Amino acid sequence: MSTAVPGGDIIGVADGKLMVPDRPLIPFIEGDGIGPDIWAATRAVVDRAVEVAYGGRRGIAWLEVLAGEKAYARTGSWLPDETLEAFATYKVGIKGPLTTPVGGGIRSLNVTLRQTLDLYACVRPVRYLRGVPSPMRRPEAVDMVIFRENTEDVYAGLEWAAGSPEARALAEFVSERLGKAVDPEAALGLKPMTARASRRLIARALDYALAHGRRSVTLMHKGNIMKFTEGAFRDWGYALAREQYAGRVAAEADLGGAEPAPGQVVLKDRIADNLFQQVLLYPEQYDVIATPNLNGDYLSDALAAQVGGLGMAPGANLSDTVAVFEATHGTAPKYAGQDVANPGSLILSAVMMLEHLGWNEAASLVFSALERTVAAGEVTRDLARQLPGSRELGTAAFARAVMARMTGE
């Protein structure tokens, strides 16, 4: 295995599986706004966990790559080609939040990363941690994993401003050639969805459920209205289950109320608006959820609110060969450099990264120490405001509290 930089080795891939050296080289983007604060805390926690778990036999060689404001200031590019090449080469990376102005200006850097690297699956586990304040009566019942399609749907970026020549031309085409009246002054966007992208996302959700002993996969869609896009997403999912998962996956309708066979995953579907109600009222009935892009964006944030908010919500973006783990919240620039931000989202995303590497001992160490720290009432400002009697810690102090609990200090 070739050495990429002194002390670090490139992660390989053989037969679709990662070949992880003892000192893998992993690129990181610290992020904008509070990104540097939460990244410093996360890096310290991860390095300590790896040290404790493996006694120095393993370690991570971190490589900084640039994106966002820091990249633009240094290179004139918001997302340099070298950054994309680094993630593609080293296979596993992690990033803080990145700035994207609302409305005009630069296009979403997160969307560009996902589409350029074909990170087609956004995976968001949502699980309650003891001690985290929640608006729900039974937040402990929430234990779901969302698989959100990342490359198509309205996030494909196919939209045109109202009154633009492109929008008028598209309105004219739709009106004259397709017989659907469209106001020529309307802003227009397209919602492409393909069987290929939908099926590979749903397959990933089914494979996860089978591998992790999950009971069900729910297809979230608005197919009662958008019959040929989101309705097709639903239909493609059921067809995939029949063709490739016979005996291992059973459609809910085919069971007729009976229990599935041992080890069998139930595949069901729910209309998007109904599912928002269902996950509030009956969270224990939902396990793994597969969804098109926009629905998944809404649902993952709504579910995060049930277990304490985005400050404690991890996420990953996956292709068949590349994985980029990320904080799921924004940059919160007014808190940048103040040592008050909650690094929980990025730390938990790092837990997912360690699990992806197969370093489960270090992952468990981080998760357990983080949960015990929060349960002890040692939390950052966002949580302290909601927890009477808690002890407010700065970002760096919170990281130190987590690290101390790894060794019982």
> What are residue 159's DSSP bridge partners?
189
Does 329 appear as a known binding residue? yes
User: What backbone phi and psi angles, to 5 degrees, belong to 126?
Assistant: -125, 110
> How many Cβ atoms sit within 10 Å of the Cβ of residue 179?
7
Nearest one of 48, 43, 1 to 22, comparing CA atoms: 1
Question: Of the residues 254, 273, 282, 320, which is catalytic?
Answer: 273
Establish whether 133 is an annotated binding residue. Answer: no
Rounded to an integer, what distance in angstroms lies between the CA atom of residue 356 and that of residue 358? 5
Q: Which two tokens stand for residue 23?
A: 């000192």
Active site residue 297: yes
Q: Which of 222, 238, 245, 287 is catalytic?
A: 222
100 among the known binding-site residues?
no
Query: According to the annotation, is 396 in a ligand binding site?
Result: no
The response to whether 191 counts as a known ligand-binding position is no
- One-letter-per-residue 3-state SS of the chain: CCEEECCEECCEEECCEEECCCCEEEEEECCCCCHHHHHHHHHHHHHHHHHHHHCCCCCCEEEECCCCHHHHHHHCCCCCHHHHHHHHHHCEEEECCCCCCCCCCCCCHHHHHHHHCCCCEEEEEEECCCCCCCCCCCHHHCEEEEEEECCCHHHHCCEECCCCHHHHHHHHHHHHHCCCCCCCCCCEECCCCCHHHHHHHHHHHHHHHHHCCCCEEEEEECCCCCCCCHHHHHHHHHHHHHHHCECCEEEHHHHCCCCCCCCCEEEEEEEHHHHHHHHHHCHHHCCEEEECHHHHHHHHHHHHHHCCCHHHCEEEEECCCCEEEEECCCCCHHHCCCCCCCCHHHHHHHHHHHHHHCCHHHHHHHHHHHHHHHHCCEECHHHHCCCCCCEECCHHHHHHHHHHHHCCC
124 annotated among ligand-binding-site residues: yes
User: Does 127 carry a binding-site annotation?
Assistant: no
To the question of whether residue 99 is assigned a binding role by annotation, the answer is yes
Considering 90, 120, 128, 155, which one is annotated as catalytic? 155
How far is C-alpha 177 from the chain's CA centre?
40
Q: Which of 32, 153, 269, 297 does the annotation list as catalytic?
A: 297
Residue 37 designated active-site: no
Q: Determine whether the annotation assigns residue 330 to a binding site.
A: yes
Say how many CA atoms lie within 13 Å of 215 toward its Cβ: 9
Q: Does the annotation list 54 as a binding residue?
A: no
17 classed as catalytic? no
400 is in an annotated binding site: no
291 annotated as ligand-binding: no
* Residue 385 marked in a binding site: yes
333 is in an annotated binding site: yes
**394 known ligand binder:** no
Q: 332: annotated binding-site residue?
A: yes
Residues annotated within the binding site are 99, 108, 110, 114, 124, 148, 297, 329-335, 342, 385
Catalytically active residues, by annotation: 155, 222, 273, 297
Residues annotated within the binding site for NADP(+) are 99, 329-335, 342, 385
Residues annotated within the binding site for D-threo-isocitrate are 108, 110, 114, 124, 148
Residues annotated within the binding site for Mg(2+) are 297
